[in-house]
Structure 1
Amino acid sequence: MTRRYYCSNLPSNGGNIVLVDAEAQHAIRVMRVKTGESITLFDGKGSEAEAVIESITRRECFCSTQPTTQPDREPQVSLHLGVALPKPDRCRELVERLTEIGVKTLTPIVAARTQREPSASLLEKLRRTVIEACKQSGRNHLMEIQDTLTSSQFFADAAHQDQLLWIAHPADDADQVAVANRDDATNCCAAVGPEGGWTEDEVGLAMQNGFQCLPLGKRIYRIETAAVVIAARML
């Protein structure tokens, strides 16, 4: 098993660092690392470094690191997803999959048919899930989980960025248009609605802000399935 740990202050030229809190506990209690073992550290911003464990206490793990490298494991397309998050027990898997696939940014959306706005504690747990997914998958960039926006705020903000815009919603021939545009796209943004779908007003507002409708086939997907399907197709 690859032993990778998150260290936001990774020294670029190498040196000594200390793993603390959740990362230290994972290394010490879960992986049961030993002095002298080699591990890999990453900073969530694209860099990683090989390291050796020098000493261990009950709460800290002291390491010496090599200079950092910047292996390129990111998709060529930068994808920002706005998602009306499902129930909390289904959010973790959603975030794991999107992180592994390579989504750059996730914005939780509160839509007209959203049943429950995501809490601050849930978002904090999901940000921790991003770290765990990066450790497992070998990704060195953390997927950013932004603060929650209403659907109208999300559509308006996205319209001011230089990117192709899609909203998951049925429309005649929209799939062919979206796929054709995607071929040359480097910056993309897609919105996935809540259980029950978008309202007509939300779809209209999205289109006023430059979004194109993107159907996902003849079946009705759960939120997390729709988001993963879009991410896989775009990336």
Structure 2
Amino acid sequence: MKYTVLGSGSCVPDPKKNSSGGLLEAGGVLILVDCGPGVLHAIPRSGYDYTQIDAVCLTHLHLDHVNDFGALLFATNHDPECKREKELVVLAPIGFSQFYKNLKQLYAGTIEPSFDVIIHEMGNGEFDYGDIQIQTLQTFHTDNSIGFRFTYHDKVVCISGDTGYNENIVTLCKNADLAVLECSFPQKQESSIHLNPKLISKILSKAYVNEVVLTHLYPHTEDFPIIELIVQDYDGEITIAKVGKTYYT
């Protein structure tokens, strides 16, 4: 599997980052995981064709994770080079169907696609897309937020979305080859709905992850030694997500 970072920031504007998003590629399938502001335009800059996305997986419905979903549909409608006919599968938290209905009403038909959008609302569950097994568990960032675990043959990628510490995140990350974990805040800033280095270390002490990518950093967080704090208790690979960087499993 390949995971390419399209956005690694938060809701706060950052000159170096888009908001949350990434592309997972496995077995000829292209999955967009979250699509915050700036993510749509990062897709071609990362060497991909946005019209070829097979599925969209959304962790929750905050704007910094879903804003470009409408932009994606708008682009497919108005791009003269886009001839998309295949359906778009969307795995999203409970409540997304109503969100999508409201979005289409808000934009008065301009994002109504010419292809089918197949929505699967997920809580704690499983879904197979081709040869990719997808597991979702609630993360409690919002009432219905979810994290994703993707398994393709013997490789596993976990994407936390926004979350505080909870056992579901440990379960999703268990023995993963790659875990993309939010690290919103520095060590001294604690939250029940976001992670910091101390809480990430706690997850990794139980989950045995091979490689970690830190994402969803608020602008001030990188002023602190977040990696140095985590590696005191973790001996795997760990990096801060950069837009355009691809990770392989």
Greater fraction of residues in helix: 1
1 or 2 for the larger relative contact order (CA 8 Å, sep ≥6)?
1
TM-score normalized with structure 1 length: 0.32
Greater fraction of residues in strand: 2
